[in-house]
Structure 1
Amino acid sequence: MKLQPDKSTVQTITGHGPGWIGVDGEKITSSVIVSSGGTRIAWPVGSFDALEPGHFAALAQVDAEIVIFGSGARIRFPRPAWLAPLIERRIGVETMDTPAACRTYNILAQEGRNVAVALLVEQPV
C-alpha cells in the first residue's frame, strides 16, 4: 500500500507491503527502527519468533517518548518482561500490526511528537 503524506520535515513511512517498508521513498526489506528525530537503524530480527529481550533493550536507547512496535502482518504482543527497559525509561510502548504501526507513526510524527517505530519486516514464504 502506498501512503501519501503531506510534505514533511520528519522521516515518513511512504509505503509498505509483504517483505518491505518504504521510508522517504526508499524501499527497505529488513526490520528497521525509524524515529521522528531522524534516526534510522537496522533492527536485526527477521521474525516474531526470533525476538529476544535485547531487541527491546535496543529500543530503549532510541530518543523517543513513545515507541510503536509493528509486529508483522498480524498483531502479536511481546512478553511483558521484555518491555522493562522501555518502561524503566518512562517510554510509552504500543503494539500493533506493521501496517497500523506505519500509519500511526506518520500521524504522530506529523504532529511533532517524539516517536519511534520498530517495524518487524518478515519475508513472505
Structure 2
Amino acid sequence: MRDDVFPGGLLLSPVRALAWDAPASVATLDVAALGDLFDLEPKPEFLLLGTGAGLLQPPRAFVRALEALDIGVEAMDSRAAARAWGVLRAEERWVVAALLPL
C-alpha cells in the first residue's frame, strides 16, 4: 500500500490521480482551477468537491458554470469526499473529485 501525501490538494478521475495546487480558499474556486478534469468520455456525472477540514459552500458562479456543462456538484469536507469517492467508484460510477487539503 502506498501512503502518498498531496499537501496542495488532489484531483481524481476514473483514469488518474493528480497532485493539485488548489486555491487557498473555496471562495476563489473557478472551473479553470480544475484544468482538464472534465475532459472525459463519457462526461462525468458530477464533481465531488472536498472543501478541506470543514464543509464550505462553493461560489454560486462555480456551481452554475458546472451545471452549464451538465455536471453536478456535491460539496462536503475532504474526508467525507474521499470516502464517497471510494464508495461511488466501487459502484463504477463515472465521477470526478477535487479535494482541497485539510
In the superposition, the TM-score normalised over structure 2's length comes to 0.79
1:33–1:118 Cα contact (<8 Å) kept: yes
Paired position in structure 2 for 1:104: 84
Runs of 4+ in 1 over 4 A off after TM superposition: none
Of 103-112 and 37-46, deviating more is: 37-46
Structure 1's 59 and 99: CA in aligned 2 closer, same or farther, altered over 3 A? Answer: farther
Structure 2 Cα separation of the partners of residues 49 and 88 of structure 1 = 20
Question: Which runs of 5 or more structure 2 residues have no equivalent in the other structure?
Answer: none
Deviations 1:54-76 (CA, angstroms, capped at 9, x unpaired): 325x3763432111000000000
Two-structure CA RMSD over aligned residues (Å) = 2.3
Paired position in structure 2 for 1:113: 93
Question: Which runs of 5 or more structure 1 residues have no equivalent in the other structure?
Answer: 1-13, 15-23
| Matched ranges for 1:1-125 at <5 A | 25-35=3-13, 37-48=14-25, 51-53=28-30, 54-55=32-33, 58=35, 61-63=38-40, 64-122=44-102
Query: Quick one: higher RCO (CA 8 Å, sep 6+), 1 or 2?
Result: 2
Structure 1 Cα separation of the partners of residues 84 and 36 of structure 2 = 17
In the superposition, the TM-score normalised over structure 1's length comes to 0.66
SS in 2 for 1:104: helix
1:60–1:91 Cα contact (<8 Å) kept: no
From the two aligned structures, give the one with the greater strand fraction. Answer: 1
1:69–1:119 Cα contact (<8 Å) kept: yes
Structure 1's 59 and 100: CA in aligned 2 closer, same or farther, altered over 3 A? Answer: farther
Structure of greater Rg = 1
